[in-house]
Amino acid sequence: MKEKLNIPNSITIFRIILVVPITICLIKNQYRSAVLLFFLAALSDVLDGWLARKLKMQTRIGAVLDPLADKLMLNYTFVVLTIKSYIPLMLFATILTKDIILVVGSTIEVLSVNEISNIKIKASITGKISTFLQVIVITLVFLKIFRIYFDSILFSFLVYTTMVFAIFSLLSYIKDYLKRVREDEK
């Protein structure tokens, strides 16, 4: 099955490319530029998904690239902010482990189906909450960096809550995967 590069997939690839300048800006302490690029990447995430659904341009490669782009953007942001001691290593390690397991597992599953309509991987509510919480943690770090707002108790609460949801989302995806395997065996 040969797939063509379409507009939503091109936007997703653009988002993946944005990971590099976002990371460089973070490393060089160019936080304003990093935030603007991060916001642009977030907007492209909304746009590519909407276009893929609206124009019926969903593809297997898009099903792999879109979550990969999200994971790359969040994890590279997390790694730099962790190295700079803004984010606890324990949180980064939890999220990175979860994301590696999810990306490898979902890529194998997506590439093993013949038709895009046969892909049964769905974002779980715990996965969406986990991603949302990760963005909130990053936002709080940027608010701290810009000296706009920081509450250490709120930040600690969000760190532990994000870890819990990351673990729950991984368990949810594993449970759903095992259910799909059992259904396919019937």
How does pLDDT run across 100-157, given as a tens digit for each residue? 998 888 777 777 766 655 666 677 899 889 999 999 999 999 999 999 999 999 999 9
For the stretch 33-82, pLDDT in tens is 999 999 999 999 999 989 998 998 888 788 888 888 999 999 999 999 99
User: Does residue 2 lie within any of the structural domains?
Assistant: no
CATH of the domain at 96: 1.20.120.1760
User: Does residue 112 lie within any of the structural domains?
Assistant: yes
User: Does residue 1 lie within any of the structural domains?
Assistant: no
For the stretch 2-17, pLDDT in tens is 567 899 999 999 999 9
* Structural domain total, the chain: 1
Domain holding 164, by residue range, is: 7-185
3-state secondary structure the chain: CCCCCCHHHHHHHHHHHHHHHHHHHHHCCCHHHHHHHHHHHHHHHHHHHHHHHHCCCCCHHHHHHHHHHHHHHHHHHHHHHHHCCCCCHHHHHHHHHHHHHHHHHHHHHHHCCCCHHHCCCCCCHHHHHHHHHHHHHHHHHHHHHCCCCCCHHHHHHHHHHHHHHHHHHHHHHHHHHHHHHHHHHC
User: Does residue 171 lie within any of the structural domains?
Assistant: yes
User: Does residue 134 lie within any of the structural domains?
Assistant: yes
User: Does residue 107 lie within any of the structural domains?
Assistant: yes
User: Does residue 60 lie within any of the structural domains?
Assistant: yes
